[in-house]
Amino acid sequence: MAGQQQWLGDIALSHFRSHKLLNQPLDGRPVAIFGPNGAGKTNILEAVSLLSPGRGLRRATADDLSRKPEALGWKVSATLNSPHRTHEIAMRAEAGASRVVTIDEKTAPQVALGRIAQILWLVPAMDRLWIEGAGERRRFLDRITLSFQPNHAEAVLSYDKAMRERNRLLKDHVRDAHWYLALEGQMAKSGAEIHRNRIDALSLLAKAQSNAKTAFPAADLTLIEGEENIGFDEASLREVLANNRPNDLRAGRTLVGPHRSDVAALFAAKGIDARQCSTGEQKALLISLILSNARALATLNDAPPIILLDEVAAHLDDNRRAALYDEITAIGAQAFMTGTGVELFAEMKGRAQALYVSESGGLSETKEVDL
């Protein structure tokens, strides 16, 4: 199939949640996954999401992923094709141990996955994104940012590590400035990088939205840096952290910095904040953002990312659903999409592979069928 694409040539699961063994060849077209509730559809998407940095689309622990009752550990592996290379990538965990990533059979840090594949997702838990806490929105923004800038993962890790150490000092009521300087220096450096990456990502996204022919409503995203009117460049951050030490000592944690940023969305055509939009509109905004992210990546990397759309089709009317399929086809992405009924994917006939997933006695079974 299309050479200019990132796509999985196969996916293999071993003792992963309800899947004892799955070995599915893929041809690069979108993949329609259907079957009853609890069959193991989302589990397949979750497995694919683990082939990118982080804890996957449910943010599960390694133990949660291990097939019960055996709890022997698990493995997800895939052949990843991108325009110029092919890699064998895998993530696994032995029972009770943490995850191990391998790329071409060599152990690699998780962040290395972000350099060879971009995987975007939309799952039902994100339906409440605009009305829930800032943490989820920040994570959403950081996944978009990571897709554009693989180094973002390291910046976040190094910022978080320094902040944890600073928070320990604060909790222990350490007042001596010299304990703080190196940590705050690290936070300022990584924090400024995090901030720049986020701003760049938002501008790439905005550009992709303004150029797109799409049936989905554009969302204007703005980064919210916190109540204080402070700059997030390295020098300002260093100063802000030092100045805020007395407050932070009282709170026992760091109260300012990019770990507190939030993102607001505006339904652009109506000028209405996403929080005030209907549930259906909020979903449409998210689909729009995922598609824009994919379009921007296709331009930037000459290859669209892999997209995971969990239970998206069921929530769209016939027109919007047809539009979604046409847009995915136009982007050329290998989109893994789930839904309960095969009829949800009728429009994709000839344009997608179809997998029927069923479950009996706690074991998922997958077979390839015609749409």
Ligand X SMILES: Nc1ncnc2c1ncn2[C@@H]1O[C@H](COP(=O)(O)OP(=O)(O)O)[C@@H](O)[C@H]1O
Stretch near Mg ion under the rule CB under 5 A, chosen from 7-15, 34-42, 54-62, 170-178: 34-42
197 binds Mg ion (CB under 5 A): no
What does the block give as tokens for 22? 């799955």
- Binding partner of residue 38 among Mg ion, ligand X, none, CB cut-off 5 to 8 Å per kind: ligand X
User: In whole angstroms, how close is the CB of 43 to ligand X at the nearest point?
Assistant: 4
59 binds ligand X (CB under 6 A): no
CA atoms of 312 and 324, how far apart (whole Å): 10
User: In whole angstroms, how close is the CB of 306 to Mg ion at the nearest point?
Assistant: 18
43/49 with CB nearer ligand X: 43
Q: How many other C-beta atoms are found inside a 10 Å radius of the C-beta of residue 183? A: 20
366 binds Mg ion (CB under 5 A): no
Main-chain phi, psi angles of 13, to 5 degrees: -120, 140
19/41 with CB nearer Mg ion: 41
Give the one residue of 42, 261, 288, 334 binding Mg ion; rule: CB under 5 A: 42
CA atoms of 290 and 282, how far apart (whole Å): 13
Main-chain phi, psi angles of 97, to 5 degrees: -105, 170
- Binding partner of residue 53 among Mg ion, ligand X, none, CB cut-off 5 to 8 Å per kind: none
2/60 with CB nearer Mg ion: 60
Number of residues that bind ligand X (CB under 6 A): 14
Residue 290 class from Cβ within 10 Å (0-12 exposed, 13-18 middle, 19+ buried)? buried
Binding mask 209-248 for ligand X (x = CB under 6 A): ----------------------------------------
The neighbouring-strand residues paired with 106 are: 103
Stretch near ligand X under the rule CB under 6 A, chosen from 38-46, 77-85, 92-100, 140-148: 38-46
- Binding partner of residue 353 among Mg ion, ligand X, none, CB cut-off 5 to 8 Å per kind: none
CA atoms of 201 and 257, how far apart (whole Å): 18
Q: Within 13 Å and on the Cβ side, how many CA atoms surround 327?
A: 21
31/187 with CB nearer ligand X: 31
Give the one residue of 68, 171, 349, 367 binding ligand X; rule: CB under 6 A: 68
Give the one residue of 26, 31, 39, 89 binding ligand X; rule: CB under 6 A: 39
Query: Do 188 and 234 touch, CB atoms closer than 8 A?
Result: yes
Beta strands in the chain (DSSP E): 7-16, 19-25, 31-34, 73-82, 85-94, 100-103, 106-108, 119-122, 219-224, 262-267, 272-273, 306-309, 335-339, 353-360, 363-369
49 binds Mg ion (CB under 5 A): no
- Binding partner of residue 304 among ligand X, Mg ion, none, CB cut-off 5 to 8 Å per kind: none
What does the block give as tokens for 193? 């990088």
By CB under 5 A, name the binding residues for Mg ion: 41-42
By CB under 6 A, name the binding residues for ligand X: 17-18, 35, 37-43, 66-68, 362
